[in-house]
Chains A and B, each alone.
Chain A
Amino acid sequence: GENVEQHPSTLSVQEGDSAVIKCTYSDSASNYFPWYKQELGKGPQLIIDIRSNVGEKKDQRIAVTLNKTAKHFSLHITETQPEDSAVYFCAVNSGNTPLVFGKGTRLSVIA
């Protein structure tokens, strides 16, 4: 089955700096790559996603890049703010299979 590796497991950045989280996957048939944000005491919530026919997608301060050849994709957060502090999960799926999640990255933005 699909195997998703996510790095780093923890990340601390100064407010205003950029944060990058990377994920690799194993199934070359995977074609959907969402990112979820989980705040304390809440369930994960979709923040951005990308499909296999696109190499990059941006939404204000967040962006996702996809390299299908290398089977990895990344989340980029620019101009980080304290409210960006949370746990971020990448996920992967192909066809009708459920999402397979990475183990998460705990991001701390230090004011």
Chain B
Amino acid sequence: DAGVIQSPRHEVTEMGQEVTLRCKPISGHNSLFWYRQTMMRGLELLIYFNNNVPIDDSGMPEDRFSAKMPNASFSTLKIQPSEPRDSAVYFCASSQEQGAQSEAFFGQGTRLTVV
């Protein structure tokens, strides 16, 4: 397996534009997580899915953020409209089971810059 695949690797966009980040989890993994990484806050959990169902989105900072998982092999994180303070590295991770002492495998991340 190629691991967790994220696209794009880098995204530069203007304030107010819509941004969509994409993730393909490892085949067979039941849980998917979206994290945001900044120098100030470290790795923050935004939302996670179990068997394609959103379980907890309390980490989503604002209504401008939304995430979907239409099937077991694809998830998106959308920011609309984007703001400069959204600039960060966004990671997608997947694991075989939710929590339950299961290793989380991370993608390479998407570096988002909002100007």
Interface residues of A (CB under 8 A from B): 31-32, 34, 36, 41-46, 49, 51, 89, 93-104
Contacts and interface: CB of A to CB of B under 8 A. Distances in A.
A49 B103 contact: yes
Interface stretch (B13-21, B40-48, B62-70, B79-87): B40-48
Contact of A99 (B4, B56, B104): B104
Q: Interface SS of chain A: helix, strand, loop or mixed? A: loop
**How many of chain B's residues touch chain A, expressed as a range?**
20 to 34
A36 B43 CA distance: 12
B42 A98 contact: no
Contacts of A93: 99, 101
A98 B91 CA distance: 14
Contacts of B45: 98-100
A35 B91 CA distance: 17
